[in-house]
Every structure is written in structure tokens, then in C-alpha cells.
Structure 1
């Protein structure tokens, strides 16, 4: 059983990379075992969450995230277990074509339920792109007074197929759906203007997306600096833009 080793290693490696420059989160996600029709499934899910949390907390994370839940019931179980840690917590829901949880709750209802359960941050993540996810985050923003998160995918999907996992390109051709860095930067600025407090990204997001989002939020230099010797161009860009 490598569950404990993998969970500890995940937090430890994140800490090694982050150092003292960024916060490190422990993480829970959907288990694929939750079934509201099976009375025993809740206890199975609790045991899985407890095992992961126990291992991750040994590496000293700063807060705990539970993400990508389609069942509000499972998200509430995650919050129940996280609350026992006494650490700051964030829980995010995922919505596919029907902007309701699998147990029938709207984004606003999910936000209120999770906030009432003790979540410090509530929000949405995954499945949808910025254009289709931000409206759901706005709905949560209007429903609660606490912190709200929005972490969309970096994939372009049509309104009638908002979930990238439901596209014909999933899973082996999703690179054809990747959004530009400018789109993700524009999302970050729009999310902040909408009162979203925790702004990030999810599947399909790459360093160039995160960097552009950071620029849009004033967390990275606006001007791009090339670390090259323009007197000795080594690319067409350098030659034509800066060559003599």
C-alpha cells in the first residue's frame, strides 16, 4: 500500500519547490466511491480522506484543499474531515453540462452549504473553461460573504459541451483545445474585478498561462525581458527585431 508514501511525497516535494515563497496545500479530491444510495459509501469515503490527510499533515502543509467534487454530499464529507485538522480549508465544486451538482444543488446552494460547514474558501474548479466557469463563480460570490475561488481549465470548449472530458478530443487530442496565454490573463483580471479572491487554473494550464495570469494580477513583471546577447542573434526573432 503506497497511499501514505505517495501522499507524504506530494506535500514534501511541493514544499521543496515552494520554499518560503508560496503556501503549500494538502489535497483531497473526489474518490469515485461516493454513492448516496449506498449507506456504507460515506464511511468508506471518510476512511479514504482520513488516511490521506493523516499522511499529508506529517509534512506540514499550510492549508487543506478539497477539489473537483460533482456530489455536494461528498464535498461535505471532505469538509467534515478537514475541519478536524483545524487548518484553513478550501472546497471547490465541478459542474459539467448541467450547472448543478449530481445531487441537484446550484452553485449558490453548494457555496452556502460548504461555507456553513466551515470552509474558509468555497469555489469552482475544472471541467469548464474561463468563459463558462466564471459565471458560476459569480453566482457563488453573490451567495456568500466569505472567500470565493475560481480555477478553470485552459481548454476551449463550446457552450453546448462545456465539460472538456465530454469532447471528442478527450483524452488524447486535448492539446488542440488549449487556450492562449492572453485568454487566461484576461480571465484573471475579469475574475478579480468580479470579486473572486482565489484565482487559479486547472487542467490544460501550463507555466505560460500561470505567468500571464500573474502579470494580469500584478504579481509578475509586465514587460518581458529577453536574456540574450542581441549582438549575436541566435533566432529569427532576435535577428529581425534586434539585429543590425
Structure 2
């Protein structure tokens, strides 16, 4: 299938994705506990500002404000009947921002997890999960999204349901998991297992990888394992948090500087990632530094674990979950460069 993302992947050595959604919206006044998706209808100018922040910082791809835009999550706000509307509006605003840029920019329709645990551990059936993902995706496609982008998934079962839903919609898609538990997802999936799993799907994604998790160092260790398992030519995604979250003056603050994220972006590319962005805490200034570093820094050798620690700080666990000695992390005192 020829689509906007495929064309860019075929012609570019790397693509810069966007940064945080929640962090940026909180800075605009969103209150903790509120549904960001309601702002698509209630505060469209702020959502446009969110998108313009990524576009103006140089992103080649950005995600819509629809992470929680499914019936299960919106039910918490008595908005479960507004999935199609809210997701469509989020993509329409994004489409306008991308088209106004004068560049080829991909609008990726963000689809987050349902928030429910799937059978047999939980109560969410495969059929119901497919139904919810399909509804979420349909609204995004109706609004003009180029590709559907399921993110922060922790279980294979939920990723499989999303893949089936997107196949039903005949939509190109990408998928990322969050490896936040000693190198594994909350449900125990490793980086190498994700690569193996994606290859088994009837309609595989255009690209896959990791987002969120803990710090940038951990995410890059995950990328190394994923690149080994996926093999040469795989389109891998790296969207790491801007440092480590800390509670400062009543607010969550991420300690990653723009300079640290610039180092992270270059290392992510050299680890094998082709789509590189940020997650929680990543602001437009981080993205500008990331783009400049990717443009100005020649491709280097595959980073060692020691290099990652030296540039970004220590890992949060001794292993990434995929091996014993081979993937054990060096332990060093955490520090920030050019803080």
C-alpha cells in the first residue's frame, strides 16, 4: 500500500516524530484527571497550537490528541458515545496543521490502550477490543489521518486486537509498546519478543518499536535488542521520555535537557531506529535540538551499552530482560551532560 509514511520511509534515512501530548497540554491549562480528547471540541485553538509546536520544531510526523479516544477510557468522562466525533476532530485539526506547513508531514492517528485487561487474565474480550479499536481508528481516518498509531501497549493480546481492527479498516498502521518493567512491558513482553510477534501478524505494521517507559537510556537498550531481533531493513520507532520524572513544586518535571535529547536522538538512529521522537516531557525545544543533531551529526557505529550510559546516564535495571550476561547493564553514577 502506497501512503504518506511509506513514501517518506523509502526516501529518508530518518524521520523526526513529535514529543509529548500530555506535558504540553498541561502547560496550556489542562487539569489532572481531565480528558485531553474533550479539548478537541472545546479548545481547538490549543490543540492546533500543540500540533504547530511539533511542526514548527521540524517534526516529519506527529500524533493526534486521541490517545484516550476509545469507548472504555471516554466512559470515565461520560463521553463513550463521542469516540467518532472527538477522534475525527483531532485528525481534522492535525490535517490542517500538516497541510499548512508546506512540507510532507505525516498525521499519525494516536490510539492508546483501552485501559482494560484482556481475557483470560481480565474481562475484556478480543471481539470487544477489536470493536473499540476499530471505532477509534475509523474516526481518525475520517478526519484525515495518514496512518493509525497504537502506542503504550503492554500485552500481545491487545496489540493483536488493534492489528485486526486496523486490518478491518484496511489502514496502514504502526505500533509501539512501553518497556517499563526492568526492560519488559508490564505484561512481560521483551523487545526481542515484540519483533518476533509483529512478524506473525497477518497485516504487519509499517513500523514498530518502543515509547515512554522509564528514561532515554533504558529505551535505547531496548532498541538494541529489538534491532537484533528484527534484522536489517526493519523500520523501528524510538520515542523515549525526556529524562526521568521528578515531583517539583507540585508538578511532574522531566529532567532531560534539550542537549541530552539531542544526544539521545543521534544514538537512537545509530541503534537502528528510523522514526525518532520523544514521549513524556518532550517539548518543542527538545525537538529542535533533536532535529539539528540528526541533521548535523554523521551516522556513527552501533552504540555500546557503555556509550549509552556515558552520554545519557545509567540504566534503571541490571538487564533488559532478554538475556543474562549479554544484555546486563553497566552501572555508573547518573549524570547529565551539558545540563
**TM-score, normalised on structure 2?**
0.57
Q: 1:79 aligns with which of 156, 159, 163?
A: 163
1:57 maps to 141
C-alpha deviation, 1:130, in angstroms: 1.1
2:88 maps to 8
1:185 aligns with 2:259: no
Separation in structure 1 between the aligned mates of residue 224 and residue 261 of structure 2, nearest angstrom:
17
C-alpha deviation, 1:39, in angstroms: 6.0
2:285 maps to 208
Separation in structure 1 between the aligned mates of residue 218 and residue 89 of structure 2, nearest angstrom:
34
Q: 2:129 aligns with which of 25, 45, 68?
A: 45
1:128 aligns with 2:214: yes
2:240 maps to 152
Are the aligned partners of 2:87 and 2:143 in contact in 1 as well (CA < 8 Å)?
A: no
What SS does the corresponding residue of 1:101 show, helix, strand or coil? coil
What SS does the corresponding residue of 1:205 show, helix, strand or coil? coil
C-alpha deviation, 1:172, in angstroms: 4.7
1:30 maps to 113
Are the aligned partners of 1:33 and 1:45 in contact in 2 as well (CA < 8 Å)?
A: no
Separation in structure 2 between the aligned mates of residue 80 and residue 171 of structure 1, nearest angstrom:
44
Separation in structure 2 between the aligned mates of residue 40 and residue 30 of structure 1, nearest angstrom:
12
Separation in structure 2 between the aligned mates of residue 72 and residue 41 of structure 1, nearest angstrom:
14
The higher relative CO (CA closer than 8 Å, separation ≥ 6) is in 2
C-alpha deviation, 1:85, in angstroms: 2.9
What SS does the corresponding residue of 1:134 show, helix, strand or coil? helix
C-alpha deviation, 1:121, in angstroms: 0.8
1:169-207 per-position Cα deviation (integer Å, ceiling 9, x unaligned): 3995322x3310000000111111122111111111100
The answer for unaligned runs of 5 or more in structure 2 is 1-80, 297-339
2:224 maps to 138
1:174 aligns with 2:174: no
1:106 maps to 190
1:90-138 per-position Cα deviation (integer Å, ceiling 9, x unaligned): 1100022332234433111112202321122110001322111111011
Q: Give the direction of change, closer, same or farther, for the CA distance of 1:98–1:174 in structure 2 (3 Å limit).
A: same
What SS does the corresponding residue of 1:92 show, helix, strand or coil? strand
Separation in structure 1 between the aligned mates of residue 140 and residue 180 of structure 2, nearest angstrom:
29
Separation in structure 2 between the aligned mates of residue 171 and residue 47 of structure 1, nearest angstrom:
42
The answer for unaligned runs of 5 or more in structure 1 is 157-163, 220-244
**TM-score, normalised on structure 1?**
0.78
What SS does the corresponding residue of 1:125 show, helix, strand or coil? strand
Q: Give the direction of change, closer, same or farther, for the CA distance of 1:71–1:171 in structure 2 (3 Å limit).
A: farther
